[in-house]
Amino acid sequence: MSSAKRKLVLKKLNSHNTIWHPESTLVFKSQKERLVIGRYVNDQLIPLDDDALDLCDEWKFNPDESLLETGNEEDEESVEEGDSKVESVDEEDEEEGESKVESSESVEEGESKVESVDEESKEDDVEESDEKVENVDDSVDRELGTNDDVLSLASELSAKLNEGFCMVKDRLDKSDKENKGLRSKLVDTESRLVETEDKLSKLQGEYDVIKKKFDTMKSLFS
């Protein structure tokens, strides 16, 4: 019985515009170039390392050899840079020993400068505080003056409003009195009209009686 072959399922990796093998986490250079450039773990692309090479051997994938060459060159350059850094550090230590003496003198000069600056800044602060107090006094006086003007205008307006209100009230009172007089006259005329109507009705009755008597007498003499 031959052992079953493992199926290779490759999927697109849109975040890096390439494809990868989820089962082994190996990422390829592109869809056309099937060269392993690293591993995709926890949503991060890990560059080609020893674990990736072991997985390439296991799954029979080809790694990108250009990445391996650049990695070796970087290791050699880092070693050379480390040696040069050691030499530069020794030279810097010797120079620092000489500069420390000069820096102590510059520190003393700096302290004296700081003291003079502090004294000047204190004097400037005092002068500025005096100027600020004077400015505040002037602004307070101006605000008080403006408040007095506003109060005077408000009092004048209130006096004018009171005068207008009194005038309107007087006119209303006069009109009320006139209306009351007119109403009383209207009541009197109505009462007189009623009296005249009563008198007229009485006179009409008397006239009718007299007319009947005259008619009867006229009929007797005819």
Say what the pLDDT of residue 155 is.
86
Question: DSSP state, 67?
Answer: H
- 60 and 40 Cβ atoms separated by less than 8 Å: no
Q: How confident is the model at residue 165 (pLDDT cuts 50, 70, 90)?
A: confident
- 41 and 33 Cβ atoms separated by less than 8 Å: no
User: How high is the mean pLDDT of the chain?
Assistant: 76
Reply yes or no on whether the pLDDT at 174 is more than 80. yes
**Tokens 């009485």 label which residue?**
202
Cα Rg, the chain, nearest whole Å: 60
38 Cβ neighbours under 8 A, 6+ residues apart: 26, 27, 45, 46, 47, 48, 49, 52
Structure tokens at 91: 């030279």
pLDDT in tens, 94-150: 455 444 434 444 434 545 444 454 555 555 555 665 666 566 566 656 665 677 778
- 25 and 39 Cβ atoms separated by less than 8 Å: yes
Provide the terminal-to-terminal Cα distance of the chain, rounded to the nearest Å. Answer: 170
pLDDT in tens, 175-200: 888 888 888 888 988 888 898 888 99
**Cα separation of 178 and 217, whole Å?**
58
